[in-house]
Amino acid sequence: MADNERISTSLNLPVDTRIWPLKRYTDMHRFSIEDPEHFWSEEARKLDWYETWDKVLDWEPPYARWFVGGKLNASYQCVDRHVKTWRKSKVAIYWEGETGETRVLSYSTLYRDVNRFASILEKLGVKKGDKIALYMPMVPELPIFMLAACRIGAVHTVIFSGFSAQAIADRVNDTKAKIIITADGGYRRGKTIKLKEITDEAVQDCPSIERIIVVKRTGEDIPWSEGKDVWLSDLLTDAAKYVEPEPMESTHPLYILYTSGTTGKPKGIVHGTGGYLVYNHSAYKWVFDIREDSVFWCTADVGWVTGHSNIVYAPLSHGAAIVLYEGAPDYPEIDRWWDIIDKYGVTVLYTSPTAIRMFMRSGEKWLEKYDLSTLELLGSVGEPINPEAWEWYYRYIGKERCPIVDTWWQTETGGIMISPTPGIEEIPLKPGSATLPLPGVDAVIVDNDGNEIPPGETGLLIIKKPWPGIMMDIYGDSDRYRETYWSKFPGSYYAGDFAMRDKDGYFWMLGRADEVLKIAGHRIGTAEVESAVISHPSVTEVAVASKPDEIKGDALVLFVTLRENEKPSDELKKEINKHLRENIGPIATADEIYFVDSMPKTRSGKIMRRVLKAVASGQDIGDLTTLEDEGSVEEAKRAYAELLKTKK
């Protein structure tokens, strides 16, 4: 059988012979789909297990349990197994603070610290299955605490350090964390963020918190509560040197990470231990083609899933050297990242389209001073990358030498799902396309009724088979888990993204199909923003929309109706934004706030979001070709005209 025919059969697609000389990828993908248990058991053997599994996959939809009966420990995978080899003296983390200081941690230093931190947690009474929260700047103590927690079987929940006190309290109360770890402060664009003060405000409403561990970073004066607060440095004085890693059941939760959904309450995504680690270990190799001498820099914050999987668990499980940078990309100037690449000899850069667009706008002159010749591979994640940004990235950062891996995935998927896989075989690239599903990922595009649609048509992305990285549940809300991901297309995982597959089988990811926004790559639920704004005393109703933004991809726009005696004013707009920052955090700042007399609604009372979007982005209502469930075209046109009339 000719290669092309074989590909056509396995992927069930028409074949373009110029694109499809692929063999290794296709064979591997086909094998993984035809015999997933065999395929994944081979992959799982690349990790160290205390006990081998009895069953590779227990699939009782919608619950997939991987490597059932197996036992392993994530901290062992990421540190212990390296210190038994020459990697003992290899660099694990090159850390650079925003203010210029640096720390270099070898695997043996990391091992020592993970053990000491684990001993501290034990002494404070943290046990297997307990939850601990981390609200920290990007300092080495953050990954160290994550690894220390999983060493003793505790489940961490990392809260992004840009979140507000309210957002921390919501997350801590949902998990009932016993301990929260923070820092006196963090640096951002030369200013300090008062993390301890924010934590104190949050824990006033968190009865489960027994202790606050504080890492010293800025050295500023902070409020202190004797008995509750404790400095990390004081705890370390009598920390033990070694803590035996707890052999964890493969299906035991590793962490809970909150993300936005279509209701006001964030979802606690629960990831398991064995499946998550196996999936990320393999995906990392396939996508980033990582080698022993690679220097890998993922610029995300550890507080997001990208940071969990691609700063901590996947790279460290490979014994890779990573860069961890604390601060803003444009501090003190917009060339900070190029300086870091030059200084540490970064070989793989993994970042977001928003960052690339920001650099693109500031121009190539900022690159001139730096040697970027160590770069071999570039990555993109978090939002669709427009072809202009892709080409700029390729030409000016990669100097037309480095392939770009556009990686599509989600907090829920645990690891990268659709991406070029140079670690398996060079996949011909197309700017703006995430290319092909990873081995084990059975991705298809369907219409609203679940029928596969022909190439070139836009539909919804679903995954037909479980993969090891898949989330285990929504913490404390299995009904929501079932409903959100598994009810629309029973038996298949519904991702909530629009996508298109072209005639070569390449995937083009086209943005969210639900009421979740992506603002500068951050995931924000419209309902979450709305429930924050509605708590402002002047507001009676609010609806959230987005408009295209040159840098952020999308920008947040609010439509607000006011109480009877309230007058629209710029002052009030500022106040609403301040209120949003206090309730969620700076990521939820609105670019525009419009005061309107009433909201555009269907007869059944549903807000017509497409009408809002058209008004927010200055599009004509005529562009609204598909209205889906949001009322008739006539209704929408009327609502559009009405909204334009009253918008202030």
Non-local CB neighbours of 4 within 8 Å, separated by 6+ positions? 15, 17, 20
Options 64, 378, 381, 438; binder of ligand PRX; rule CB under 6 A? 381
State yes or no: residue 512 binds ligand PRX (CB under 6 A).
Answer: yes
Options 384, 398, 420, 437; binder of ligand PRX; rule CB under 6 A? 384
CA dist 478 and 270 (Å) reads 11
Q: Total number of residues binding ligand PRX (CB under 6 A)?
A: 22
Which C-beta is closer to ligand PRX: that of 113 or that of 497? 497
State yes or no: residue 480 binds ligand PRX (CB under 6 A).
Answer: no
Q: Which stretch binds ligand PRX (CB under 6 A): 90-98, 236-244, 409-417, 449-457?
A: 409-417
On whether the CB atoms of residues 324 and 340 are closer than 8 A, the answer is no
Options 29, 357, 523, 552; binder of ligand PRX; rule CB under 6 A? 523
Task: State in angstroms the smallest separation of the CB of 257 from ligand PRX.
Answer: 9
On whether the CB atoms of residues 533 and 579 are closer than 8 A, the answer is yes
Rounded to 5 degrees, φ, ψ at 423 are: -70, -15
**Which of 198, 406, 226, 381 is CA-nearest to residue 306?**
381
CA dihedral 427, 433, 437, 438 (to 10 degrees): 60
State yes or no: residue 301 binds ligand PRX (CB under 6 A).
Answer: no
593 alpha-carbon distance from chain centroid: 27
Which C-beta is closer to ligand PRX: that of 245 or that of 266? 266
Which C-beta is closer to ligand PRX: that of 67 or that of 508? 508
State yes or no: residue 305 binds ligand PRX (CB under 6 A).
Answer: yes
State yes or no: residue 267 binds ligand PRX (CB under 6 A).
Answer: no
Task: State in angstroms the smallest separation of the CB of 450 from ligand PRX.
Answer: 19
State yes or no: residue 481 binds ligand PRX (CB under 6 A).
Answer: no
**Which of 250, 302, 296, 243 is CA-nearest to residue 111?**
243
State yes or no: residue 408 binds ligand PRX (CB under 6 A).
Answer: yes
Q: Which stretch binds ligand PRX (CB under 6 A): 342-350, 378-386, 596-604, 633-641?
A: 378-386
CA dist 616 and 600 (Å) reads 13
Options 376, 406, 504, 528; binder of ligand PRX; rule CB under 6 A? 406
State yes or no: residue 200 binds ligand PRX (CB under 6 A).
Answer: no
One-letter amino acid of 381: V
426: which DSSP letter? P
First to last CA, the chain: 66
State yes or no: residue 409 binds ligand PRX (CB under 6 A).
Answer: yes
Which C-beta is closer to ligand PRX: that of 245 or that of 496? 496
State yes or no: residue 382 binds ligand PRX (CB under 6 A).
Answer: yes
Per-residue three-class SS string for 153-177: CCEEEECCCCCCHHHHHHHHHHHCC
On whether the CB atoms of residues 59 and 40 are closer than 8 A, the answer is no
Rounded to 5 degrees, φ, ψ at 319 are: 70, 30
Q: Which residues, 416 to 435, sit near ligand PRX by CB under 6 A?
A: 434
Q: Which stretch binds ligand PRX (CB under 6 A): 57-65, 141-149, 403-411, 421-429?
A: 403-411
Q: Which stretch binds ligand PRX (CB under 6 A): 90-98, 102-110, 491-499, 525-533?
A: 491-499
State yes or no: residue 497 binds ligand PRX (CB under 6 A).
Answer: yes
Q: Which residue has the tokens 């969990």?
A: 308
Task: State in angstroms the smallest separation of the CB of 245 from ligand PRX.
Answer: 28
State yes or no: residue 261 binds ligand PRX (CB under 6 A).
Answer: no
330 alpha-carbon distance from chain centroid: 22
Task: State in angstroms the smallest separation of the CB of 498 from ligand PRX.
Answer: 9
Q: 21: which 2 tokens?
A: 């000389």
State yes or no: residue 182 binds ligand PRX (CB under 6 A).
Answer: no
On whether the CB atoms of residues 296 and 347 are closer than 8 A, the answer is yes
State yes or no: residue 308 binds ligand PRX (CB under 6 A).
Answer: no
State yes or no: residue 436 binds ligand PRX (CB under 6 A).
Answer: no
CA dist 260 and 269 (Å) reads 10
**How many CB atoms sit inside 10 A of residue 456's CB?**
10
Q: Which stretch binds ligand PRX (CB under 6 A): 318-326, 331-339, 506-514, 533-541?
A: 506-514
On whether the CB atoms of residues 83 and 48 are closer than 8 A, the answer is no
* Residues forming the site for ligand PRX (CB under 6 A): 259, 305-306, 381-384, 406-411, 434, 495-497, 509, 511-512, 518, 523
